[in-house]
A and B are shown apart, each in its own frame.
Chain A
């Protein structure tokens, strides 16, 4: 096959053995690469009863079929394992330059099994692959690790690493790459920490041959033209995702005060406009990226001085409005700290905001916090706790477990302020103001998450796209943000497409928002880059297969419809303020429609035998679903 490295490295950390295996063509027909390929490998190797932080867990890092290509936004890789945060399927994705570099070294994926008894890092220079002692790196932050490895192995190297949070088994720890790119969700940095694998340093001097070299640039020029002429692109370059603060405030979808409400009175102070005017150094693209949503920012002086990558809207929401914090410098600095220590800004901010609400209600006091004041908007507390969580110091040690476990431990009724699904903190989408986001958060295989489905077709007037994908009969309801009707159908379709996107290594920007590229474009790219012939229908079915396999992984661990639920606040308490005041999430209605669209049992949420048979998942279903 063209356009790939062709080899997967299997690294047994217990024995130090490194094995090279060829990419399996029949697996690619069924699961593509990236998220799909890892779904199958980890499904086969990680049985129920596995402790996520034990050597028995398997950690995969895989690029997609188009990663390293010239297709717009094709830099991505996926990290996957049994999640130590959710205890179910865990996957997380990032952009950067690391995965293309891995391709140029000749590899498409790394599978880590076992665990080392001392810190190690993997050093890859083309054919030369070695596990090295990482004692000198252990305890270093992500930027220091990058500096040391590139000083030692060459400045052209690209690094992927965990910071102190991963070492300390913080359940919100991220796997970082290229310094400030994060596979942040699902706590997979802690899996690396448990396996004592600190970093992967890569230098690849090879090339990717493509299937249709004569027409490659011609097609890519056309893709580039479409992407650059899309009306969303200039705004994305100018603001990245930061201006979503203003847009979300406008529709009441900006989670504030631990999701009590969807509007924040201080939104202008943490806005994208302010970041752009006062703190932006420049937009920064990753490999083949035309959208350039990455930010490079600086706070020039004061206690929050730094220079580094990002933030995203999610951090402005989680460290800002969600904690009642309108001090933008502290939001930016907390983000920077999360990059240094390697943590998920969403879960960290959401966990702090849970503690703040419990404090506000008098359920957590300074006896619990060791004297730390958890008043809404106390920015010094937010910054301090970010460090303390990463280092598991004092009250931070409790919060490092995530809000679900922390509330279980403290009790006293603090559980009702936990804003999680399947133990993972809900991201910056107040679902009472966009119903599809509420459904997406519960159906996502990795626990609360907006990206597994990324159902944004009802967000910004994409009526034409809905017409194209689903047909006119679903309008206007499907396009209406507050209308639960047809959201089950939409979320199912979006999930199928998004797991395909994660399996070919593309970004959700350009494929979902704006929805410029769809299955036909992906199929064309796979043809000219890889020489693979997939129809739109083939790709849809692969997407459906991956979602069902992720579901089976979770069903095998005991997940049922009961677990596909939102905090009561979002389904039972009407939004108190703002443009979406009075709204709740009509979850049951949407879930019924979703299960029906999926071919899953309405009562249990388990895939029906005919669905599994249609997708060729009979072997995987054995012992879980009775197929007779």
Chain B
């Protein structure tokens, strides 16, 4: 979070970060990243068509079009979009990798469903995730 807010906004402040980490007791620390959903509800929710997908599949915000309606935030099932408190425009992770390369615990990495399946041979990660899904997002994924 600190890397992100410093890299993009030159300040330290979780509210300026494109990624957030939630702590749920007992013992769960979980980063909330954008997954670039195939059916990205944020894109369709925006009344100004400010969200779009790049050729690499990453959902981005067009700052010129974004007026800070917050419709994307409501639409996102993963709490992965926020408004920058200074600009009032939407911010989200764009997979720049600055935090990944700085994580001292190597706890985050760029991944895909297939990659997670390969790493999670015994299904432990998925089981933990499903157990806490509601806590993380305040609602069940559709």
Contact = CB atoms under 8 A, between A and B. Distances in A.
Q: Which label, helix, strand, loop or mixed, suits the secondary structure of the B interface?
A: mixed
A179 interface: yes
Contact of A70 (B2, B24, B85, B105): B2
A207 B13 contact: yes
Nearest to A147: B25
B29 interface: yes
B22 interface: yes
Contacts of B15: 104, 205-207
Given A179-B25, A208-B11, A228 B6 contact: no
A213 interface: yes
Interface residues of A, number: 34
A422 to B, nearest CB: 37
Contacts of B141: none
Nearest to B2: A70
A290 B11 contact: no
B6 A213 contact: yes
B104 A207 contact: no
Interface string B21-35: 010111101000000
Interface in B1-57: 2-3, 5-7, 9-16, 22, 24-27, 29
B64 interface: no
Given A104-B13, A207-B16, A285-B105, A307 B2 contact: no
Contacts of A307: 26-27
A288 B13 contact: no
Contacts of B3: 70, 217
A97 to B, nearest CB: 8
A221 B7 CA distance: 12
Contacts of A40: none
B91 to A, nearest CB: 13
Given A70-B6, A217-B7, A224-B102, A155 B22 contact: yes
Interface string A193-234: 000000000000111111001101100010010011000000
A224 B6 CA distance: 15
A123 to B, nearest CB: 19
A292 interface: yes
Contacts of A282: 27
A28 B92 CA distance: 38
B23 to A, nearest CB: 8
Contacts, number: 64
B12 A208 contact: yes
B105 A213 contact: no
Nearest to B22: A155
Nearest to B15: A205
B6 A207 contact: no
Nearest to B11: A207
Contact of A206 (B7, B13, B24, B25): B13
A296 interface: yes
Nearest to B101: A221
Contact of A207 (B7, B12, B29): B12
B59 to A, nearest CB: 25
A281 interface: yes
Contact of B11 (A143, A213, A284, A288): A213
Contact of A228 (B9, B12, B22, B104): B104
Interface string A256-289: 0000000000000000000000000110110010
A213 B12 CA distance: 10
B5 A207 contact: yes
Interface string B73-98: 00000000000010000000000000
Contacts of A70: 2-3, 6, 12
A69 interface: yes
Contacts of B24: 155
A308 interface: yes
Nearest to B7: A217
Contacts of A210: 6, 10-12
Given A70-B12, A206-B13, A213-B6, A296 B102 contact: no
A68 interface: yes
A284 B26 CA distance: 12
B29 A284 contact: yes
A69 B13 contact: no
B5 A308 contact: no
- A-B complex: 3 closest residue pairs judged by Cβ atoms: A207-B13, A213-B10, A207-B11
Interface of B: 2-3, 5-7, 9-16, 22, 24-27, 29, 85, 102, 104-105
Given A104-B14, A209-B11, A288-B2, 17 more contacts: A104-B13, A155-B24, A207-B5, A207-B9, A207-B13, A207-B16, A208-B11, A210-B6, A213-B6, A216-B6, A217-B3, A284-B27, A290-B104, A292-B104, A296-B27, A307-B26, A308-B26
25 contacts: A69-B12, A70-B2, A70-B3, A104-B13, A104-B14, A143-B25, A146-B25, A155-B22, A206-B15, A207-B5, A207-B9, A207-B11, A207-B13, A207-B15, A210-B6, A213-B6, A213-B10, A213-B11, A214-B10, A217-B6, A221-B102, A227-B104, A237-B105, A292-B104, A296-B27
